[in-house]
């Protein structure tokens, strides 16, 4: 069985929305969204902060250097990140603000603001978002990455994401990107398949305008 075949229903739903979606899905092919459900929310948030505004390759390198600070650990524990030397974390490639946010996330994991995976699966999306954006430096986008990639939520649309907004602008040949609030409203028609919609919008070809036309 194809590992990604459970996304076929979502892709079919989106392709039936209109001709633009149908052409995009035909061009990109099957959805290969690949969540990491085994990760604890704490680790997922730290990783999301690490990758913010960076390429995947750069984020991988920074996470690799962070893990190297803690021998014999698959991933550092919250108490270890709290105690970690600021300058050593900066040397991994984190900005000062990212170091502060990562330490705040670690504090949140110890105080219970960041729930365990076992508890998180029982909490709805908006409640988790509101709960975790109370951590200084953690925004809605960061929690949405957790929802999509760690908790495998199927109806998440990160409307603040530049790539998603630009993908939709190009898909519809719009003169400018829709604002996040507008895109959230538009995306109601894609529910309950908005995670897969975001995956496709991230892959919208942008060279030489809308190549789907």
Catalytic residues: 161
CA distance 17 to 139: 30
Greatest Cα-to-Cα distance within the chain, rounded to the nearest angstrom:
54
Alpha helices in the chain (DSSP H): 8-15, 19-28, 41-51, 56-68, 78-83, 86-92, 96-111, 117-120, 125-132, 140-149, 162-171, 180-186, 194-202
Cβ–Cβ < 8 Å for 123, 115: yes
**211 neighbors 28 (Cβ within 8 angstroms):** no
CA–CA separation, 73 vs 193, rounded Å?
36
CA 103 – CA 115 distance, rounded (Å): 16
Given CA atoms 111, 116, 118, 119 in this order, what sign does their dihedral have? positive
């Amino acid at each position: 069985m194809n590992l990604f075949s459970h996304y076929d229903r979502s892709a079919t739903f989106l392709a039936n929305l209109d001709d633009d979606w149908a052409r995009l899905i035909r061009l990109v092919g099957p959805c290969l969204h690949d969540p990491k459900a085994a990760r604890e929310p704490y680790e997922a948030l730290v990783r999301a902060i690490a990758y913010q505004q960076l390429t995947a390759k750069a984020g991988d390198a920074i996470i690799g250097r962070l893990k190297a600070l803690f021998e014999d650990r698959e991933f550092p524990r919250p108490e270890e990140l709290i105690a970690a030397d600021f300058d050593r974390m900066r040397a991994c490639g984190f900005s000062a603000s990212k170091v502060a946010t990562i330490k705040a996330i670690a504090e949140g994991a110890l105080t219970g603001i960041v729930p365990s995976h076992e508890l998180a699966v029982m909490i709805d999306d908006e409640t988790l978002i509101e709960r975790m954006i109370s951590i200084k430096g953690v925004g809605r986008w960061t929690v949405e990455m957790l929802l999509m990639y760690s908790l495998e939520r199927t109806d998440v649309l990160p409307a603040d994401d530049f790539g998603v907004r630009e993908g939709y602008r190009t898909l519809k040949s719009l003169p400018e990107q829709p604002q996040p609030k507008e895109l959230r409203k538009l995306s109601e028609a894609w529910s309950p398949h908005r995670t897969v919609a975001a995956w496709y919008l991230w892959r919208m070809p942008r060279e030489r305008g809308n190549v789907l036309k």
